[in-house]
Amino acid sequence: MKYRGIGLLAALATTLFLSTAVAWSQETVSVPGLEKTCLFDTIDLSGSDDYQEYQGIISDQLRAELKNAGFELVPREEWDAARERAGLRMQELSKGDSALEVAAAVRADMAVVSFFSVEDTLMALDIKCYDVEQKALITGVFKSVRINLSIYNALAEAVAELVPKIRLLGPPPVSESPVVEEIALLSKDEGMDIYLGDEGFVGKITDGKLLLPPIPFAIGTKISIEKKKEGYHPGEETVKLKKPEMIVSLDPLRKQTRYATEFNWTFGQLLGFGIAERLYLKPDMTYLSAEHYFYVQHNFSGGKPVFHHDIRALFGGYLLTGPDRFFRINMSAGFGMIVTYFSITDQPMYADFYWDIMNTSFELNFQKYILYFRYEAKYALGLGPMNLLGRSWITVFGDGGPTVFTLGLARKW
């Protein structure tokens, strides 16, 4: 009798322990508010029927894992009917907003989309989970796997990896507006095409504005906006979405420069100025230029002025820095000739030919203008019977090195 009582107590304790353990286990499996799940068929974006078998494998794996984790799955017939009612093709469910629309129609808490594409023998698999009520991305898994025998393990791992991530999330934070409801892009570049990361082309700037189609971006996310327009360099901006209604003023695109006119002022040639014309072989990157710099040499002490015409041809290009950069480095080289004549009578005309070995410019790249400081290394060749500089560096101070500096402003056309 005594031992029967002990046995009953033990059985009761065991029952209590097991029921507690089961209850605890149930709680960790499903996430409150996300129980009803709309799992869509895996979509093959490869554009080929060769990989259909993987669609089934991935879908089955996902289904099994989600069921095991305690999620209630919406029957396929139900969500497929909703898809058809919405007029959406199966392929379109790879986009978050389409998937959310169908999931909302069947009153699901969570939508799970999976899609892959295969290039050569490499498969890129993407699985995303969305909170239907919040219209926000909960989590996702991206895997890149080679198609061979190990692919089954890799797919199982990807699917298995997803579920714990959902568990860890818990209920979403309470917020009145957790997603961005409206994004308006403002730009002076009329007709500019706008692309958004995965979404691709989303519209053109019209009348200075583009209202983006509703895409459930969570507040705090950063979006990458690509800008393209004929005759302009493409641009890209990253914008952080901070509030439900975003008005984003886009930086203007930089026009592709075909020509530029330079106005130059050179140390050692300050009583004059130069005008040069650049012809870009590749817009804003490589160019040919021709320059004429006229200056007077005078020492303001009773002498008579001497006149110089510096004429040169250069080939130039930009290093390391693209057309959209504000600070750019330019290199150029070429050949030139300085013609000299005097104001005192009966004097001959001189010509000094030189090799413009290397000019290095540090440029501030504005929309229409370039402001630059240029260091010029010019070497007089001493060619011809009538030259004044002989064979030497062209320098102002006579200390052996090239010391010609130019401050310039270029107008881009």
Q: The dihedral of CA 95, 101, 102, 103: what is its sign?
A: positive
Round to the nearest angstrom and report the end-to-end CA distance of the chain: 106
Going residue by residue from 350 to 379, which x/- string records binding to another protein, judged by CB under 8 A?
A: x-----------------------------
Q: If binding is defined by CB under 8 A, does position 349 make contact with another protein?
A: no
Which residue of 243, 304, 325, 411 would you call a contact of another protein, by CB under 8 A?
Answer: 304
Residue 272 beta carbon to another protein: minimum distance, rounded to whole angstroms: 10
Q: If binding is defined by CB under 8 A, does position 388 make contact with another protein?
A: yes
Residue type, 289: S
Q: If binding is defined by CB under 8 A, does position 399 make contact with another protein?
A: yes
Q: Are 243 and 220 in contact (CB under 8 A)?
A: no
Contacting range for another protein; rule: CB under 8 A; set: 98-106, 246-254, 361-369, 389-397: 389-397
Contacting range for another protein; rule: CB under 8 A; set: 94-102, 157-165, 218-226, 267-275: 267-275
Residue 196 beta carbon to another protein: minimum distance, rounded to whole angstroms: 44
* Residue that is written with structure tokens 């107008």 in the block: 411
Which residue of 33, 214, 305, 317 would you call a contact of another protein, by CB under 8 A?
Answer: 305
Residue type, 112: V
Contacting range for another protein; rule: CB under 8 A; set: 10-18, 36-44, 67-75, 343-351: 343-351
Q: If binding is defined by CB under 8 A, does position 301 make contact with another protein?
A: yes
Which run of H or E residues covers position 240? strand 235-240
Q: If binding is defined by CB under 8 A, does position 269 make contact with another protein?
A: yes
Q: If binding is defined by CB under 8 A, does position 247 make contact with another protein?
A: no
User: Can you give the C-alpha Rg of the chain in angstroms?
Assistant: 36
Which residue of 142, 263, 267, 413 would you call a contact of another protein, by CB under 8 A?
Answer: 267
Which run of H or E residues covers position 58? helix 52-68
Residue 349 beta carbon to another protein: minimum distance, rounded to whole angstroms: 12
As separate numbers, helices (DSSP H) first and strands (DSSP E) second, the chain gives 5, 24
* Count of residues in contact with another protein, rule CB under 8 A: 35
What does the DSSP 8-state code read for residue 206? Answer: B
Q: Enumerate residues 6+ apart whose C-beta is below 8 A from 259.
A: 277, 278, 279, 280, 412, 413
What does the DSSP 8-state code read for residue 33? Answer: T
Q: If binding is defined by CB under 8 A, does position 326 make contact with another protein?
A: no
Q: If binding is defined by CB under 8 A, does position 405 make contact with another protein?
A: no
Which residue of 114, 289, 395, 406 would you call a contact of another protein, by CB under 8 A?
Answer: 395
Contacting range for another protein; rule: CB under 8 A; set: 62-70, 212-220, 298-306, 362-370: 298-306
Q: If binding is defined by CB under 8 A, does position 389 make contact with another protein?
A: yes
| Residue placing its CB nearer to another protein in the complex, 315 or 405 | 405
Q: If binding is defined by CB under 8 A, does position 401 make contact with another protein?
A: no
Q: Are strands 306-319 and 327-342 parallel, antiparallel or unpaired?
A: antiparallel
E strands within 66-131?
72-73, 110-119, 122-131
Residue 409 beta carbon to another protein: minimum distance, rounded to whole angstroms: 18
Which residue of 299, 319, 326, 327 would you call a contact of another protein, by CB under 8 A?
Answer: 299
Pick the closest to residue 189 from 238, 256, 239 (CA basis).
256
Pick the closest to residue 336 from 367, 311, 317, 316 (CA basis).
311
Phi, psi torsion values for 40, nearest 5 degrees: -85, 160
Residue 389 beta carbon to another protein: minimum distance, rounded to whole angstroms: 7
Residue 357 beta carbon to another protein: minimum distance, rounded to whole angstroms: 15
Chain centre distance of CA 13: 62
| Residue placing its CB nearer to another protein in the complex, 67 or 391 | 391
Chain centre distance of CA 283: 20
Q: Enumerate residues 6+ apart whose C-beta is below 8 A from 173.
A: none
Q: If binding is defined by CB under 8 A, does position 342 make contact with another protein?
A: yes
Residue 271 beta carbon to another protein: minimum distance, rounded to whole angstroms: 6
Phi, psi torsion values for 306, nearest 5 degrees: -115, 145
Q: If binding is defined by CB under 8 A, does position 265 make contact with another protein?
A: no
Q: The dihedral of CA 317, 320, 326, 328: what is its sign?
A: negative
Q: If binding is defined by CB under 8 A, does position 148 make contact with another protein?
A: no
Which residue of 7, 303, 322, 384 would you call a contact of another protein, by CB under 8 A?
Answer: 303
- Which residues are at the interface with another protein (CB under 8 A)? 267-271, 297-306, 308, 340, 342, 344, 347-348, 350, 386-390, 392, 394-399, 404
